[in-house]
Amino acid sequence: MKEKTKFLKSKGFKARVSITMVLWAAWFCFLILYLFVWAGGWGHSVLEGLAVIVVSIIVAGVMTAIMWASWGMNFAAEHPGLCEGEIKGEFKKHIDDYIDKRIEAKLKEKGTD
């Protein structure tokens, strides 16, 4: 379990989580202000309003992605074992076992009908 939670103690993780939460909370505040205060005062049409909202989502998403991509690359370099399949292989095995059991159950169910 320690291997799986190593990322929680990695450099910059907590800061990025906090910044991500603040960024999306700020986006939500912008959305509320825009919809209830600014959109009406500026005389925007519905399509212009939708465009502003979509562009704001894209900007916030890109900012979040850039921030987390740099962390992901640094984390992958610091912990190569986690990124090369040691944990993924374990997880994949559990998923494969689950799927096999489901398939067997369905086949037995159809065979008894």
Q: Tell whether 101 and 50 lie within a shared domain.
A: no
Q: Tell whether 66 and 101 lie within a shared domain.
A: no
Q: ∠ CA 35-41-47 to the nearest 5 degrees?
A: 55
| Residue 15 reports pLDDT greater than 80 | yes
Q: Tell whether 67 and 22 lie within a shared domain.
A: yes
Q: Tell whether 73 and 97 lie within a shared domain.
A: no
Tell me, what's the pLDDT at 26?
96
Q: Tell whether 72 and 19 lie within a shared domain.
A: yes
Tell me, what's the pLDDT at 1?
45
For the chain, the average pLDDT equals 80
Q: Tell whether 103 and 58 lie within a shared domain.
A: no
Q: Tell whether 74 and 92 lie within a shared domain.
A: no
Name every residue whose Cβ is closer than 8 Å to that of residue 44 and which is 6 or more positions away in sequence.
52
